[in-house]
Amino acid sequence: MRIEDVKVFVVNPIAAEKFEGIGHLYRRGGINYVVVKVLTDEGVYGVGEGTLHASELAVVATINHLKELLIGKDPRNTEDIWNFLHRATYWRGGPIFKTAIAAIDMALWDIKGKLANMPVYQLLGGACRKGVLVYRHADGRDPKEVVENVRKWLEQGYKVVRAQMGGYGGSGKLRHEPAEREGLPATTYFEPTRYLLEVPKLFEYLRSELGMEVELLHDVHEQLSPIEAAQLAKRLEPYRLFFLEDPVSPEHKEALAFIRSQTTTPLAIGEIFCDREQVLPLFVNRWIDYIRIAPMHVGGITEAKKIMTLAEPFGVKSAFHGAADLGPISQAAAIHVQMSIPNCGVQEWTDFRSIQVFCDLFPTPCEVRDGYAYPNEAPGLGIDFNEALAERFPYSPVYMPQIRRTDGTVHGY
C-alpha cells in the first residue's frame, strides 16, 4: 500500500450564523477548519484535521509543502512517518509545523484503523474506560445568571462545568475600541484588579447555590502575573475547584512552581503547548495536575499518546483542549487517545453532533451521553468529511482578539 495524494480543504461553516455551543467565535468571522484527506493506491483513505485558529493558511501551506515527501510511502508506518516529517526541516517544532504533522498523522491512523477493521483506540491499547468525562462552559453577566447556566448543563447530565462571568478577564475588561477598519479585530483594555476581586465572590455564590459536590473549574486564560495568579488560586481554595486553568501564560511556566507552593488549588495548563520539551518540566517537578494539550497541536495521535505516557508516573491527567476552534475530526482523535490512556481526566467539549451542518460536513461527530463522550465504533476514527458539501463554506479571514492594558501595552488574549 502506498500514499497517492494528500488533499487539503479549508471550510468555514459558521461564518454567518450563530450556533448554540459555539460561543463568541462566530462574531469574529467564524472558524476555518483545515481538513486533510490522505489517499492510497488501494482506495482506502483517511481524514485528519489541522485547524490553527487565525493561522490556518500557514498550516495549509506547510501541509502542501510536506505532501510531496509522502507520495509513495506506506501509510501504515505511522511512527516512521511522524519522525520523518518532524525532521524533514532543520527548524523543527512549533505550532504551525506540529499542527500540519498532526493532520497527516490523524489521517494515517484513520487508514490503519480501517485496514484493521477496528476503531483507533483499540490500536492504541484498547479501552481503559467506558467513556471520557467532558466539561461544558457556563458564563453570565452576573452571578445569578452564571448559576442558571451551570444548572442547565447539570440538568442535561454533565458532571463538570467551567464557570466564568463576563468572559475571560470578567469586569477587568474596562473598555473597548472599534477596529481600525473592516475585517480587523476590536481592541479591549484590561486591568486585573476588578477581576481578582470578583472571581472569589463568584465562586462563593456558586457554592452557596449549588453546594460543594458539583465539579466547577475556572479559566484565567493567561490574564494574570504570577503573583496575581498565586493570590487568586489561594483565595479560591475554600471553593474546591476541579482545577484553575492557565493561571499564567506558557512563557511563565516556571512560575507555576511558585504558585504551587502557595496553594492547594489544582492547576491546569497547556492548550497552546506544541512540543514535549515544554511539558516535561511541568510533569517532573509536579507543578500541575492536568495537562491541557490538544493532539492536533502537538503532532497528532502518535505524539499525544507519548506525552500522556510521560505524564502518567507524575500523576498528571489529561484535560485536552476542545474549544469550538478545534473541529470534529480533532475531537474524535482526542477521544480515541483518552479512551486508551489510564490517566484520563476530562475533555473540554463542544457539541458538534447537535448542529446539523457539522453532522453533514463531518459524518458523524462523537456523541455525549450523561456527561461522557464516546467514540464512534466504526473502523478508524469513525468520522468522515463531505468533500462535495465543503464547497459551500469557503475560507473567511479571521484574527484573534486584541487586548491591551489601559496604558496601551499589549496584553495576551
Residue 241 has pLDDT above 60, yes or no: yes
Q: Indicate whether 170 and 85 sit together in one domain.
A: no
Active site residue 45: no
Its domain, for residue 32, covers: 3-118
Final residue belonging to a domain, choices 80, 97, 118: 118
Q: Indicate whether 110 and 159 sit together in one domain.
A: no
Residue 26 has pLDDT above 50, yes or no: no
Q: Indicate whether 127 and 114 sit together in one domain.
A: no
Residue 19 has pLDDT above 60, yes or no: no
Residue 24 has pLDDT above 60, yes or no: no
pLDDT in tens, 114-135: 999 999 999 999 999 999 999 9
SS3 81: helix
In Å, how far from its chain's centre is CA 137? 13
Final residue belonging to a domain, choices 72, 87, 118: 118
Q: Where does 117-183 have alpha helices with state H? A: 120-123, 143-155
pLDDT in tens, 322-354: 999 999 999 999 999 999 999 999 999 999 999
The three grid cell numbers given for residue 216, joined into one nine-digit string? 466547577
Answer for the pair 385, 17: CB distance below 8 angstroms, yes or no: no
Residue type, 277: E
Q: Indicate whether 141 and 225 sit together in one domain.
A: yes
Q: How many residues in the chain?
A: 413
Residue 25 has pLDDT above 50, yes or no: no
Active-site hit among 121, 158, 168, 239: 168
Final residue belonging to a domain, choices 94, 118, 142: 118
Q: Mean pLDDT over all residues of the chain?
A: 96
Strand 290-291 with 267-269, pairing: parallel
Q: Of 104, 5, 121, 89, which Cα lies nearest the Cα of 366?
A: 121
SS3 396: coil
Q: Of 129, 298, 160, which Cα lies nearest the Cα of 241?
A: 160
Q: How confident is the model at residue 17 (pLDDT cuts 50, 70, 90)?
A: low
Q: Indicate whether 58 and 131 sit together in one domain.
A: no
SS3 298: helix
Structural domain total, the chain: 2
pLDDT in tens, 68-95: 999 999 999 999 999 999 999 889 999 9
Q: Indicate whether 99 and 145 sit together in one domain.
A: no
The three grid cell numbers given for residue 255, joined into one nine-digit string? 512560575
The three grid cell numbers given for residue 134, joined into one nine-digit string? 467532558
Q: Indicate whether 70 and 133 sit together in one domain.
A: no
Q: Indicate whether 362 and 238 sit together in one domain.
A: yes
CATH number of the domain within which 37 lies: 3.30.390.10
Residue 20 has pLDDT above 70, yes or no: no
Active-site hit among 53, 221, 321, 336: 221
Query: Residue 157: CB partners within 8 Å, gap ≥ 6?
Result: 369, 370, 371
CATH number of the domain within which 252 lies: 3.20.20.120
Query: Residue 409: CB partners within 8 Å, gap ≥ 6?
Result: none
Q: How confident is the model at residue 23 (pLDDT cuts 50, 70, 90)?
A: low
pLDDT for position 29: 74
Q: Indicate whether 169 and 290 sit together in one domain.
A: yes
pLDDT in tens, 375-392: 999 999 999 999 999 999
**C-alpha to C-alpha distances, 156 to 160, 163, 193, nearest whole angstrom:** 11, 16, 35
Q: Indicate whether 75 and 165 sit together in one domain.
A: no
Instruction: Name residue 347's beta-bridge partners.
Output: 134
Q: Indicate whether 103 and 90 sit together in one domain.
A: yes
Nearest-angstrom CA–CA distance, 272 and 307: 14
What are the backbone angles phi and psi of residue 8, rounded to the nearest 5°?
-125, 135
pTM of the predicted protein model: 0.96
Q: What integer is the mean pLDDT of 308-335? A: 98
Instruction: Give the chain's end-to-end CA distance (angstroms, integer).
Output: 45
Active site residue 221: yes
What does the angle CA 14 – CA 374 – CA 291 come to, to the nearest 5 degrees?
Answer: 80
Q: For the residues of 377-396, what is the DSSP string, one character each?
A: -SSBTS----HHHHTTS---
Answer for the pair 115, 44: CB distance below 8 angstroms, yes or no: yes
The three grid cell numbers given for residue 235, joined into one nine-digit string? 483565595
In Å, how far from its chain's centre is CA 350? 10
pLDDT for position 22: 56
Q: Indicate whether 219 and 341 sit together in one domain.
A: yes
